[in-house]
């Protein structure tokens, strides 16, 4: 538990009701991680709107089994994540499934910001700024992960259109204050998050804001 997290009363607006196992605030720019047990549901709340939540997934039993953007988009036939999207490992295995979504589209292509890529995108004067890659490395290290274990990630609430000529870019988000997405763990899954710190990026309206992470255990027989 890092100082950036704050325990909240169990009154969270989880998209899938059930026993609240975890309800935490992730500060702007901060990392977060948790193991979500098979069957439990993680609701991510975009508290202020237009915040990108960079996210990597690993099978808790074997972190060499990790989220694969290509496998995920190929198997579902499209690049956008929304309700019904199965988040797959590079083995093809289902790690998590999006079970509810108030936004309608989340990004699979843009990956994480890093000091290094920021130097290419915005100029070398930005290299001292916060980055998601640093968050992933620092938070991942708590679970024995290293640079080798990072891969292109999910960006919840981030909007990355691809134009007919292939032009692609991060543009203003489709989210709004309080919008939520819920993902159910299909196996015990280590969820690694960086609440995108980049201040040069419309993914968070150039102003990173906190998000809320709520894990619920649905009642037996619930539809999630």
Partner 1 sequence: MTSTPGGAAAGTATTAGARAHARDQHGRVAPHMRHVPPERAPRIPGQEGPLPGPLTWAETVAPGGYTTAALARGTRLGLTDPAGDACAHLLLHRAGATQERLSVADTVKVPWQAYPTTGHPLLSGFGRVLATVVADTAEGHHDALTGTSTAAGNNARYGASAPFSTTPAGRELLLMGALKHDLTVRDLPPSVSFFQGVRVDAAGRLGFLGSAGPGRSVELLTHLDTLVLIANTAHPLDPRAEFSCSPLEIRAWRAEADLAALAAGELLGELGPEHLAAIANTDSDLLARGVR
Name which of 41 and 112 has its Cβ closer to partner 1. Answer: 112
Q: How far is the CB of 185 from partner 1 (least distance, A)?
A: 19
Name which of 79 and 187 has its Cβ closer to partner 1. Answer: 79
Compute, in degrees rounded to 10, the torsion defined by CA atoms 68, 73, 205, 125: 50
Q: How far is the CB of 96 from partner 1 (least distance, A)?
A: 17
Q: How far is the CB of 36 from partner 1 (least distance, A)?
A: 22
Q: Which residues pair with 55 in a beta bridge?
A: 154, 193
Name which of 17 and 92 has its Cβ closer to partner 1. Answer: 92
> What b/e sequence results for 193-215 when a residue is b if at least 16 CB atoms lie within 10 Å of its CB, and e otherwise?
bbbbbbbebbbbbeebbbbbbbb
Nearest by Cα to 89 from 113, 63, 109: 63
Name which of 11 and 125 has its Cβ closer to partner 1. Answer: 125
Q: Which residues bind partner 1 (CB under 8 A)?
A: 64, 68-71, 73-75, 77-80, 90-93, 105, 109-112, 114-121, 123-124, 133, 146-153, 160, 162, 164-170
Beta carbons within 8 Å of 174's beta carbon, 6+ residues apart:
103, 104, 105, 157, 159
Token pair recorded at residue 138: 């620092």
Q: How far is the CB of 187 from partner 1 (least distance, A)?
A: 14
Q: How far is the CB of 47 from partner 1 (least distance, A)?
A: 26
CA–CA separation, 173 and 105 (whole Å): 10
Name which of 43 and 131 has its Cβ closer to partner 1. Answer: 131
């Amino acid at each position: 538990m890092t100082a950036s997290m704050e325990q909240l009363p169990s009154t969270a607006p989880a998209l899938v009701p059930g026993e609240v196992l975890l309800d935490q605030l992730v500060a702007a720019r901060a990392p977060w991680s948790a193991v979500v047990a098979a069957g439990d549901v993680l609701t991510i709340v975009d508290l202020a709107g237009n915040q990108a939540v960079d996210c990597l997934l690993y099978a808790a039993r074997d972190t060499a089994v990790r989220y694969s953007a290509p496998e995920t988009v190929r198997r579902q036939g499209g690049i956008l994540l929304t309700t019904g999207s199965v988040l797959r490992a590079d083995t093809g295995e289902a790690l998590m499934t999006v079970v509810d979504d108030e936004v309608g589209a989340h990004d699979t292509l843009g990956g994480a910001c890093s000091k290094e890529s920021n130097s290419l995108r915005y100029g070398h004067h930005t290299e001292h700024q916060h980055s998601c890659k640093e968050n992933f490395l620092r938070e991942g290290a708590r679970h024995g992960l290293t640079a080798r274990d990072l891969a292109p990630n999910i960006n919840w609430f981030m909007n990355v259109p691809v134009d007919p000529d292939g032009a692609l870019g991060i543009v203003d988000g489709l989210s709004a204050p309080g919008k939520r997405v819920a993902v159910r763990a299909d196996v015990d899954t280590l969820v690694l998050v960086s609440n995108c710190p980049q201040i040069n990026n419309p993914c968070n309206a150039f102003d990173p804001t906190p998000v809320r992470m709520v894990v619920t255990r649905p009642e037996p027989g619930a539809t999630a």
